[in-house]
Amino acid sequence: MSARRYVEVAGTQYNKKGFGAKWSEIVGSYEPGITVSRSHRAFLVDVLKRIPRFAKIFKRGRVMFKVVQRVFNGKRVKGVVIVTPNSSYEVWVGKEAVVKEMFPRTTLPDPGKENRRSVLRALRGVIEPQIQQYRGRFKGQSVIKSSLSGKPIFGPYHVDHVYPFVRIVEEWCRDRGYDLERIPVKCVGTVCRLVDATVAEDFFDYHALHAEYQVLDASENVSKGARYFGREKFIKDP
């Protein structure tokens, strides 16, 4: 089966990139808490009626769409919710999930790459106690400042690795002779764990020795990604 390259929504054809851009345009047109206008509503209705878990909501009666801001894993995300009839319950509609439904992948995922992603998820879980211990340093502080800019952070802050986490993992693999695509891992839902506990313990110790943290605003962390710029002048131990 060939990949779906175009979809028609509300009378207009979109490729995957154009569809994503249209969705972002709609979300970006409103401040959080504002109900979506009739013109944009037509686009959303046409899209979401094609996705079974959202389509069943429409059977209850007329719905509304609202742009809101939510926090996921400490990151502020602006997006759309369906306001259900009668109960007015808000159902989050994730852009990524919608794009996958509208432009489904037609080839099987690469098992090696899938394993790599799962191992990275498992390794983040292994060192989560270290992250939480670092967060504890800021408990009770009225003002938390960015390690990069020195400016106060308003809202949730991110604990980021000065030297990117994925680079630490890659160097650990080189030192130990591991292949991320082959390390045994078991996942239940979104939770992944390494099969070999001794491997997990080894990474816990390696990470504790090599990791260094900094505090960033959500937008700074997204902008930085996995790039490394060296140590910044504002990085200080609290």
- Kindly report, residue by residue over 50-75, the tens digit of the pLDDT: 999 999 999 888 899 999 998 876 67
With CA atoms as reference, report the closest residue to 200 among 143, 126, 144. 126
pTM (two decimals): 0.54
Backbone angles phi, psi at 156, to 5 degrees: -60, 140
136: which residues sit within 8 A by CB, 6+ positions away? none
Q: What domains are defined for the chain?
A: 7-102 (3.10.450.40), 111-224 (no CATH)
Percent of the chain at pLDDT above 70?
Answer: 89
pLDDT of 228 reads 47
Q: Which of 199-208, 216-225, 228-237 holds the top average pLDDT? A: 199-208
Backbone angles phi, psi at 71, to 5 degrees: -115, 120
